[in-house]
Amino acid sequence: MKLYRFLSAPDDNSFCHKVTAALNKGWHLFGSPTYAYDKKTESMRCGQAVVKDVEGQEYGPDTKLSDW
C-alpha cells in the first residue's frame, strides 16, 4: 500500500523534529514544504507532505497512518 501524510507544526524546531522522525521511520518527502500564516494563533506554520510504500499490507479507512 502507498501511504500519504501531511505534517504540520508551528515554525519552530518541533516541525523539524516531526519531519525528521517521519524520515527515520521510512517516510519520504513528497513535494515542497509550505509556509503559511495562521491568523487564529497569529503565528507562522510549516507543512510537508510525506509518503511511504508498505509491502504486504492493504489500506483501509481504519489504517492509522502514524503507526507506520
State the average pLDDT over residues 4-26. 96
Residue 12 DSSP code: T
Residue 12 included in any domain: yes
Residue 61 included in any domain: no
Residue 68 included in any domain: no
State the average pLDDT over residues 16-23. 96
Q: Which pLDDT score is estimated for 66?
A: 81
Number of folded domains that form the chain: 1
Query: Residue 48 sits in which domain range?
Result: 2-54
Under the banding of pLDDT at 50, 70 and 90, the label for residue 68 is: confident
Phi, psi (deg, nearest 5) at residue 26: 100, 5
CA torsion, points 52, 45, 17, 3, in degrees to nearest 10?
A: -10
Residue 62 included in any domain: no
Distance CA 44, CA 52 (A): 27
Q: Could you tell me the three cell numbers for 55? A: 509491502
Residue 64 included in any domain: no
Distance CA 44, CA 67 (A): 27
Residue 18 included in any domain: yes
The reported pTM is 0.85
Does 43 score more than 90 pLDDT? yes
